[in-house]
A and B are shown apart, each in its own frame.
Chain A
Amino acid sequence: MITLLAAFGHVAFDVLFGWTLWSLHRHERSWAETLTLSVLLGIYVETLSVATLMFLGISLRAAGIGTAVAMGVVIISAFYRGGLRYSRPSIERPKWYEWALLAAIGEKIFFVVWQLTRTHAYFDDNLQHWSGRARSLFGGLNWSLDSMSPFFLGGHIGNSSYPLQIVIWRALTAELRGEWNDIISRADGLIFFVVILGTIWLAVRRFSNLRWLAAAAAFVVSAVPLHAWHAAAGYSDIAVEAFAVVSLAALMRGEWFTGGLMAAGAVWSKNDGLVLFFPALLTAVGMLQTRNLAGRFEWRNVGRFLSGFATIAPWLIFNYIHALGITAGQGELNWHSDALALLWNAVMKGPTSSILWIFVFACAIYSWVAMFKDRTGRALILAFSVSLAAIVFIFSSTSAYRFLVDDTTIHRTMMQFSAMAVLVVTYGFWLKTRSVEWSRPLARVRRSKTSGLKRG
């Protein structure tokens, strides 16, 4: 119980700090949109600041205390200067399908909390790269920033080229709790899961103004079978997914700098963010700057996105200096002729994603033309295509092919992509069918002799 309090107290502090930062400049967001952004911004800024101080030779504890004090000062000074802006939370009375959605999500959360409290850290990558390194960092004995040491970035237990966001956040939570335990090693997954669902719901509600469509999209993502496991597994895939979809949602609202920050957060979660999602998000930013394909390009907004993304520089510079790289395997390119068939079988036929991708691709094809005629739609479908192309390329032409053959990563990567994909095709579907009477999709329609379609 104390551990859960420590973990969620840590999140609450990050939320407060994130909220304070968002209050520093004008925006037109709902309180709920600001809340989802604040969670991720707080985690991102806190862990990146601690990492930067550690790169400069400061210990985890000192860097954590220094960062926490700085964050506290920012919050308090903003509070006393009246800089904290918030809109009053407004919660509408749930409709029946929203109760159903809440029940479905509630079941997942119950299962996740059960896993956190009744099972121990179990899955291999978490034991190695994420919680293995985090526990080593917290313990302090098996951790070093000397690149000649076998303990460099926890390299004796995990892959030292993997980013440190989750590692540092868990180590700081353990510092806060005063000890390490298996809840700390996995609890953040639940936070990312909730952020993903909230972001999908809010983004769809914003562009469509349809509550049932927002609930449907959030339900589809919540029920992706791997999510209930990854929300309690301690892997970083769900963190990448959260940052990527929040970035895309921010870009749909025209928040370029925010989108860049969140894209950086995806990279800070796992290297996949750099390869699979940053190019797609950059494409979306570019396409959103033109009214039509031949229109004037707003370089300034691209610059805002890139400046948000540039905040990840401390890690990328550190990575470059120490030649850590971004892949666990060799970097050679080599086309594998059977990769497409394997991908097809894994994605379309297997039970892991069930029938999700069949309908996602069908929906993308169905709305393709309508998407290209719409500025936002064009940006979204191209971002979708770029991410998908990157996934196909990585698994068919690099050493990651072996993770396709042995089924160890492909489904996780598709899960990372699922929230973004559902958001994109929901937009496309809405765009394509805007003329339909949407507000009550199950209401019976009867023909009227005088006025065409009528709702009965």
Chain B
Amino acid sequence: MSLNSAVLFAGLVTATVCLPIPARAQETTAFVLATDFSAQDTVIELDIPANMDGDSFYIVWGIENRQHSAISRARAGTHCYELRRHPQWQGLVKAVAITLPNVPGRIKKATFFDEIDMFLEPERIAPTTINFLTGHALFTWSWNTFLLIIPFLSALWLAKFKKKPLVLCLALGFLVSWSVMDVRTTYDHLAIMYKKERYQQGMFPLTDVKAFADRASEIIGRDPWGIRGSVDGVYGSFLRYRLAEQQYVPDGSQRPPSYWITLDPKGDQVLLHQANYYLVKNHQP
């Protein structure tokens, strides 16, 4: 099978992959990178075009009769993507595929520079960032493991050369480790700012709903509006927030709104369409 050929994982992928797209599950196609290889010590390398930077995608692979997947964020340029920490990335892999179209990629053994490059993969802004961070790994070890070793090494150095009590050395060692952690975090912040400013791609995954809501707000004006059907999760929250100063008509209200925001226009007159979102005029009294 050649690279980027559309694959046959599609059925399986649909079952397991739940991309952050509003409303229902959507058919997702995966593109094969390699087949029949040993997962031992391998990572995948992708050549991502600049306009895809930050895009969320799945890496899907099959071992024997089972399929596994891992979510990742695209980095513009040629970069490796870590799979070795995934417990299911082992043994003979029948095929590995990604859900990004037209992206060349390959399987390889990570070099020293690849290891450093993967370690420097920045934290991304995601809806989950407010609750937890994804963290980093170096040479397949959790970054926390290194941060735990640093205090003891620092303490040994301080105890030997500064002749301070061990407890004080450990405390100072913790500060050294915490500083190293903070330097890495600072790099994350700088990378986030740089990428956002350079690629101007908006705030994934709210980019479409924001563009839609900004325009819908102008069209709706002072008239009442409502949501027909369900717009789930953060997308619905964003719509209600963005239009919070305009008269909202909740579900079940006796007086219908002048406009509906919906994912399914049902043949109504569409005033605005962006991605999955429709603004339709309500003609019913």
Contacts and interface: CB of A to CB of B under 8 A. Distances in A.
Interface of A: 104, 107-108, 111, 114, 118-125, 127-128, 131-132, 135-136, 138-139, 141-142, 150, 156-157, 180, 216, 219-220, 223, 225-226, 228-230, 233, 235, 349-352, 354-356, 358-359, 363, 366, 407-409, 411-412, 429, 432-433, 436, 441-447
A351 B241 contact: no
B189 A111 contact: yes
A135 B193 contact: no
B237 A127 contact: yes
Contacts of A228: 185, 189
B130 A141 contact: no
A124 B164 CA distance: 48
B148 A124 contact: no
B77 interface: no
Nearest to B192: A111
Interface of B: 125, 127-136, 142-144, 147-148, 151, 158, 161-165, 167-168, 171-172, 174-175, 177-179, 181-182, 185-186, 189, 192-193, 196-197, 203, 206, 210, 233-234, 237-238, 240-241, 244-248, 250, 253
B197 A120 contact: no
Nearest to A348: B144
Contacts of A441: 164, 168, 172
Given A352-B133, A354-B181, A366-B167, A180 B245 contact: yes
A445 B162 contact: yes
Nearest to A437: B164
13 contacts: A107-B189, A124-B237, A135-B245, A223-B179, A223-B181, A349-B144, A351-B135, A359-B151, A429-B171, A433-B165, A436-B168, A442-B158, A442-B172
A359 B174 contact: yes
A363 B175 CA distance: 13
A219 B181 CA distance: 12
A120 B203 contact: yes
Nearest to B185: A225
Contacts of B167: 366, 432-433
Contacts of A407: 128, 131-132
Contact of A446 (B163, B175, B186): B163
A124 B185 contact: no
B45 to A, nearest CB: 24
A156 B250 contact: yes
B163 A351 contact: no
Given A141-B248, A441-B172, A444-B163, 12 more contacts: A119-B203, A125-B130, A127-B241, A135-B241, A141-B247, A216-B175, A228-B185, A233-B130, A349-B144, A356-B178, A433-B167, A436-B164
A139 B246 contact: yes
Counting chain A CB atoms within 10 Å of each CB, which of B148, B241, B250 scores highest? B241
Nearest to B143: A351
B73 to A, nearest CB: 16
Given A150-B250, A444-B163, A354 B147 contact: yes
Contacts of B233: 124
Nearest to A435: B165
Contacts of B158: 442
B134 A223 contact: no
Contact of B241 (A132, A223, A443): A132
A355 B181 contact: yes
B144 A136 contact: no
A157 B131 CA distance: 20
Contacts of A141: 245-248
B245 A123 contact: no
A223 B188 CA distance: 13
Contacts of B128: 407
A265 B157 CA distance: 45
Contacts of B192: 111
Nearest to A234: B130
A156 B196 CA distance: 33
Contacts of A366: 167
Contacts of A219: 175, 178-179, 182
B185 A230 contact: no
A223 B193 contact: no
Given A104-B182, A358-B148, A157 B241 contact: yes
A412 B240 contact: no
A442 B176 CA distance: 12
A136 B125 CA distance: 26
A31 B246 CA distance: 45
Contacts of B148: 355, 358
Counting chain B CB atoms within 10 Å of each CB, which of A121, A124, A128, A407 scores highest? A124
Nearest to B224: A141
